[in-house]
Structure 1
Amino acid sequence: MNFMAFGLNRDNLLAVDQIGRTFLYNHDSRLLRTGMPKMCRPIIDPISIAVGDSLYVMSRNPGRRPDQHCFQALIRSRPPASASNTKDWCWYSLQPPPLFADGVEVESSGCDVLMPFKISAYTVVGDSQIWISTFAAGTYLYDTASDAWSKVGNWALPFRGRAEYIPEHNLWLGFTPNDLQLCAADLTTSCELWPPMLQNEWTDVNRPEDWRLRDASIVLLGSGKVCIARFFLTRPEESIEDMSGHALLERENFAVLEGVKVLKAGVGRLRMVKHKSERYVFGRDLAILL
């Protein structure tokens, strides 16, 4: 299952199962709605982007020739076949990103050869633009108001995964592509020829050597406050054997949640004030050593 937060205050949480059925939970009313419309087609490994009170869902790897259902939107509107003026949630298939239409040639240098059109970074710019980056095709934007794609540049966003806009500082906060360090950039300074540059980067040094960072995410709390979630997997030093004599490594999956306040530290500079952090253990799993 996948869980996706959206709405003007991120008060809606959508759960999607493996066949595209959806369930909506509203945080304010604490009500769960099970009679939600089904997706046009299930999307494998999706990313979700909230724009206004609507939710946009796209395949993380749309491929060189995206199919017609790889990009969908959950929008509250009047169903096309209904005579009623009552608005309700509906899924719509949208125009896929024009990665192949632009005649992109994949080279072995500077991009992921195995999945060159996998979305490496994405974010929301302004009130209606969704920006996505791939290593092979560069950065595109989809305008939700005009339902149209356009090319931003041949460069990729300097983030990995989702980047969040912090209105208090007019900057986008995300993680560096290689080592998932917290960073910030101003996307408004970019143009077709010049990519946005990182203005701030904070190195996480308080980490045991056997902790392997797998992923990271940001949740905005407002007023410059941010919750950072980092997901780790331990590197076990010893192994055990099963009844067949195969070596097993016992690993621990856990997340570290950290509260952070982002403050100004001069022109174009920020400083990060760390607050309380908590460790949440998901459990242990065994990996077979062949």
Structure 2
Amino acid sequence: MMESTLGHSRRFLNLIVGMSGVKSLCCIDLMHQPLFNPTTPTTQPPNGNGSQSVPQTPAALMMEQLVVPASSFSFQASPSAPNYDQRKIECFPLTGRQVICADQLGRTFHCDAERGHDWGSSLFVIERFPKSEVSYQVEAFVYRHPSPARYSRTWHCELLPPPPYLHEPNKYNRRLEICSYAALGSSSICISVNGISTYRLNIATQTWEEVGKWTLPFHGKVEYVPELNLWFGLSAESHHLAAADLSSLELDSQPQLLVGPWKELHLPEEWKECEDSQLVSLGFGKFCVARFLHPNDRIHKGELGDEELSSQNCITVLTGVEVVPRVPNANVNSNSSGSVSSNGISELRMIPHKSRCHTSNGTIVHTVF
């Protein structure tokens, strides 16, 4: 049975907050603002759709306040843009409390809130909406010694070939989007293109291959959790926590969800999503689900810009959830919140812990990692 203690998972949760031209890295200490109860809470019986039942008290009354701490670093876009609304800076999370930032001029820099952490590896950057006429849409930022080798390591940008479908620009008469992506160990990464196919990039040979005329059953980032030996993400249909086995991707075999989707929280019907939800793995089967909402049901995702959303009090809800093995029980049936083995025993269950709520008031949360 997996231990349910915060000491075995990440202590810090990182936020990128701010406006389009100025953003900051803030680190929440989960010891001071916990998302998890000290012990595993007693769960309610499952409801009719297979998800954990959650008390129907208005969500805002159930949640504790999320206090965004002072920033560790702030990043400002170059002021050379002719108009203020053209100043933009994008932040790419790395391991630990590290982030790479790039502004509208391509100025790129790396910040490490942990300072002195020795690490290597690579960062792969791919345009979400690739275009066939642009050649720099797939890049690898590699942290290594320069050639010839010297004592200090630096970042090196390497251009990689585009996915195969971009070689046929006239075949698709619509805007193509990468809808999900995952790392498959240290040897390859895969992407799914909405309504087209799934492709795998061999990191060693820098070559792409099509692995199926299907897409992964997820939306956005998918993470491998070694303690559970599954890949977890938000499901493609409902955007709720779910898991699948991606260890063996085959041309004629689309991966299926093995557990979930699980709904971690009931929100007021008038709270509508204004940005894509995000999932952060905190280690040992613990996750943070971040949802970005607007309390006005007339506002829908993509209708407002960053500055407008800040004045409209966008709501960020962070919920701590835990996935643990279920103790075998002869009375467990397929309506339980978990995977079901051949003998009818549910193997995994999702346990919702705490939720914290933050209203922007000028401080917009963009990314949680």
User: Percent identity among equivalent residues?
Assistant: 32
Change over 3 Å in CA distance of 1:277–1:136 after alignment to 2:
closer
Change over 3 Å in CA distance of 1:228–1:66 after alignment to 2:
farther
Name the counterpart of 1:196. Answer: 255
Among candidates 152, 156, 163, match of residue 211 of structure 2? 152
CA contact (8 A) 2:264 2:321 kept: no
Name the counterpart of 1:43. Answer: none
2:136 aligned counterpart, secondary structure: coil
Name the counterpart of 1:244. Answer: none
Gaps of 5+ in 1: 32-50, 107-112, 238-249, 286-290
Name the counterpart of 2:162. Answer: 96
Name the counterpart of 1:23. Answer: 109
Name the counterpart of 2:122. Answer: 54
Which residue identity is paired with 1:4?
Answer: F
2:155 aligned counterpart, secondary structure: strand
**Cα-to-partner distance string for 1:49-94 (whole Å, 9 max, x where unaligned):** xx9721111100113x2522011111112345x6745421111211
The 1-side partners of 2:219 and 2:207 are apart by 24
The number of equivalent residue pairs is 244
1:209 and 2:269 correspond: yes
1:188 aligned counterpart, secondary structure: coil
Whose RCO is larger (CA < 8 A, sep 6+)? 2
Which residue identity is paired with 1:259?
Answer: G
Name the counterpart of 1:282. Answer: 360
**Cα-to-partner distance string for 1:217-260 (whole Å, 9 max, x where unaligned):** 111111111111111122257xxxxxxxxxxxx84312111111
Q: Tell me the C-alpha RMSD between the 2 structures.
A: 2.8
The 1-side partners of 2:158 and 2:236 are apart by 31
Change over 3 Å in CA distance of 1:177–1:5 after alignment to 2:
same
1:173 and 2:232 correspond: yes
The 2-side partners of 1:98 and 1:190 are apart by 17
The 2-side partners of 1:216 and 1:272 are apart by 18
Name the counterpart of 1:122. Answer: 181
Shift of 1:25: 1.6
Gaps of 5+ in 2: 1-88, 299-310, 327-339, 364-369
Shift of 1:210: 0.7
Name the counterpart of 1:45. Answer: none
Whichever structure has more strand as a proportion of its residues is 1
2:247 aligned counterpart, secondary structure: helix
Shift of 1:136: 4.0
Name the counterpart of 1:164. Answer: 223
Change over 3 Å in CA distance of 1:137–1:104 after alignment to 2:
farther
The 2-side partners of 1:165 and 1:83 are apart by 33
Once the two structures are overlaid, the 10-residue window that deviates more, 267-276 or 199-208, is 267-276
Which residue identity is paired with 1:76?
Answer: Y
**Cα-to-partner distance string for 1:155-174 (whole Å, 9 max, x where unaligned):** 00111111111111111111
The 2-side partners of 1:127 and 1:234 are apart by 41
Which residue identity is paired with 1:274?
Answer: P
Shift of 1:193: 0.6
1:2 and 2:90 correspond: yes
1:252 aligned counterpart, secondary structure: coil
Among candidates 243, 246, 250, match of residue 184 of structure 1? 243
Q: Taking structure 2 as the reference length, what is the TM-score of the superposition? A: 0.60
Name the counterpart of 2:349. Answer: 271
The 2-side partners of 1:205 and 1:256 are apart by 10
Once the two structures are overlaid, the 10-residue window that deviates more, 186-195 or 265-274, is 265-274
Name the counterpart of 2:317. Answer: 256
